[in-house]
Every structure is written in C-alpha cells, then in structure tokens.
Amino acid sequence: MKKFTVAALALTTLLSGSAFAHEAGEFFMRAGPATVRPTEGAGGTLGHLNGFDVSNNTQLGLTFTYMATDNIGVELLAATPFRHKAG
C-alpha cells in the first residue's frame, strides 16, 4: 500500500504543473477521495480490547473554497456517507 501511495503522490506532483494562483473573492470546487481510518486505541478508557477492529473506508469527497484574501481561504469538506465494520 505504501508503494502505491508514493507512486500516486509522485504522479500527482508531476501532473500538477505550476501552482494555481487564486484571488480574493473567488469560489472554487475540488473533488477527490476522502478516507477515514479510525484507530481502535481505547486503552485508557475501556481497557485493552482484544480482537476489536474497525475497518477503513474511502468515499468521494468534495471541497468548496472561498478565498477571503489572496492568501487565506475558507473551505467546506463534504463527502458521501462512510460505512465501517466494527467488531
């Protein structure tokens, strides 16, 4: 999985070209994967949970950004519903 992630990041870097400049007052939207990777580390509250596992999930994520200034943007993240198997 790590090799795939490194390859994907390298490819993304090569394809991105130069940085995009945004000006104050602009709105823009981006789409891509959104991943939730929960950890089952509840050792301090519930004691050691043997055999407890929670699955990861990746869904479509959308971000909507408003540029308040040339350097500062306000972003809203939305995603399709995540489902996890716990047990």
Q: pLDDT digits over 38-85, tens only? A: 776 555 555 555 666 677 888 899 999 999 998 899 999 998 887 766
Q: How many beta carbons lie within 10 A of that of residue 54, not counting itself?
A: 14
Q: Provide mean pLDDT across the span 22-50.
A: 75
A 10 A CB-CB count for 15 gives 7
Cα 62 from Cα 77, distance rounded (Å): 6
Q: What is the pTM of this model?
A: 0.51
The phi, psi pair for 4, rounded to 5°, reads -65, -45
Q: Which spans in the chain are helix H?
A: 2-16, 43-46
